[in-house]
Structure 1
């Protein structure tokens, strides 16, 4: 499913539905209150250090206050996204259980946000990395986590398959 402002809107102004309760987009679309309201978004996960959150709705406008979480990472292979994968996946799942809908976004909606959504599908959808990524790619063709995030997703998958609780994947401490 694709939600756009108008039938002629380009994909730069859209939210891509990965599941009924989970969407992915770029920062521009994430800051469009009309799109957020149309999709019923109640939780936003901003996977960036610099991209803005959407403006708060005016009283009596829109769907009310949304919960916003920032994951402060740059889209660099050396960045450590791993420690954030489980907390983000669990926040998405908790929102789903409450009947809410989550939007995960980063600047372009193709690397950081894709890695977080893929991790959610692996952890709570019990999908392999390959299957989870293909599911995301099928609705967001530009999906392409950088090589560092891809390595961290491979480590995350290995931890999930071993039944160990994923912790600090991608950490440089040792």
Structure 2
């Protein structure tokens, strides 16, 4: 079944097949698609796009993209837009990016953010490498907040 899973009012997560359904993307009024893969296509239509070229491999460095993705989702939400984050299966890479956003801009702890994304899309399961990177990101965000720069 093709579907975009709503994480927040302005954030959706899905797999590549659903993300490439132009009618679905239009129906949910998506304005930014973040494609967390090297090979998945983008949907057609007039939607801003951002590609994060990583494989679903525990050794890939997704950490380096967390801030840029989280900030792009936040900017889109602030201007009334809606973001869709997806990867091939909508389980690992896209979930990690959504969790990073919730941690940075909603102030959630890793466990809370993971649960929120899992509630929206039950199949999510970031690989062990991405989980370790999210733990590192949580510590980095904690340090920034203590230092006064978020």
Q: TM-score range by the shorter chain?
A: over 0.9
Please, which of 10, 18, 38 is the counterpart of residue 29 of structure 1?
Answer: 18
Partner SS, residue 8 of structure 2: coil
Structure 1 position 161, deviation (Å): 1.0
Give the Cα separation in 1 of the matches to 2:128 and 2:121: 18
Find out whether 1:41 has 2:41 as its counterpart: no
In structure 2, the partner of 1:168 is none
TM-score (structure 2 length as normaliser): 0.95
Larger radius of gyration: 1
Encode CA deviations 1:45-81: one digit per residue, 9 max, x unaligned.
Answer: 00000100112x3xxxxxxx11000000000000000
The C-alpha deviation readout for 1:15-48, integer Å capped at 9, x for no partner, is 0000010000000000001100110000000000
Q: Which residue of 2 aligns with 1:143?
A: 124
- TM-score, length-scaled by structure 1: 0.82
Unpaired runs of 5+ residues, structure 1, are: 1-9, 58-64, 165-174
Structural RMSD (CA)? 1.1
Structure 2 residue corresponding to 1:110, chosen from 91, 107, 111: 91
Runs of 4+ deviating beyond 2 Å: none
Matched, 1:163 2:144: yes
Aligned to 2:79: 98
Q: Name the one with the larger helix percent.
A: 2
1:82 is the counterpart of 2:71: no
